[in-house]
Structure 1
Amino acid sequence: MTKPPGEPADDYEVGRGKPPKGSYFPKGKSGNPGGRPKGSGKAPARTPFDVLFEITTIIEQNGRSREVTAEEALEQKLLQMAFDGKATAIRRILKMIGEREAARAALAPPANRVRVRYASHDPDNANAALVFLEIADHTTNDGCERLKLHAWAVQAALDRRRRKLPAKDLSVVKSHTLNPELVRWPEGRDE
């Protein structure tokens, strides 16, 4: 005698992880024939910041009110704090600028290769370049025209320097600097 469908065979024990044979899906037939509905896939994860940045607020800038996103308002506040001299805000702004420049460089088309031709050494070319780049200016002293470095360029060079500057070299640099009083000279090295 055959058993009706859904009844376990004599040698098959129904239990945990062993459902009755009759409740199995027939071979070749899906348990979800319609499949997953379109658009019901995993939605992108939203963070509280996503919700925050969708909010708009009104700020007053240069005597005018305008509506901005919360993200832009926070950036404006960070920029104002940087202008006020807050070190952490300055670091964050510089980091944002670096990230922006890196992103722009990644999107920029590759630069054309440029062939550089070197001319023979001419001291006038170097002097002209320093003046053109506003690193130095011509000055007249005792009827003699000289090239003197701007204070910011001297300061940048001193800040980069790891070794101490000998006193005689320091006096030479001072004599060839425009407005040497604007430079923070290394301590203990003044004449």
Structure 2
Amino acid sequence: MARIALISGSLRAESSNSAVVATIRKIIEGRAGGHEATVVPLHDFPPFDQDVERAGHPAPLESARGQVSGADALIVCSPAYNGYPPGVLKNALDWLSRPGGESPLTDLPTAVLSASPGQAGGANVQPHVRRILANCGAAAVECDEVAVGDAISLRTSEGLIEDPATVSRLEKLVDAVLAAAAR
């Protein structure tokens, strides 16, 4: 059994990235082996501030750190805001990477994908997110790039992605992550 933490870099209620994450969660939990997937919420993270860190991590951060610490792997789905990851995602990764030597991201198998209303699916954000994660000590999962284009039109009213071609690509990413988690 693998425990996978999932992060959507978007806070919007009807986010395409969150729909991709929800779909991945459904795929993981549907796999044989009793795998678990948990979504790490980013809504209540304060801006990173070392003074706040010294005073003690805020409760939402401690909860997120616990989810990531207890995970065998991490999947991050990011939108592209002007070609870069949103500040909320970068801020969360900054918090999770601290303090040095105690980061739950260190050596954690991690996969990155993106979703966007545009045709390219936010593919241009992925190298940036991978670089941030590498700087945080995460271990990249080798898998085909997944960038979900036209993601708004693919999101169902239930908040999932059901397009067979997209689901197939997500299943391959999940398989790569589960294999990495098993190592």
User: TM-score, normalised on structure 1?
Assistant: 0.22
**Larger relative CO (CA 8 A, sep 6+): 1 or 2?**
2
What is the TM-score of this pair, normalised by structure 2? 0.23
The structure that has the greater radius of gyration is 1
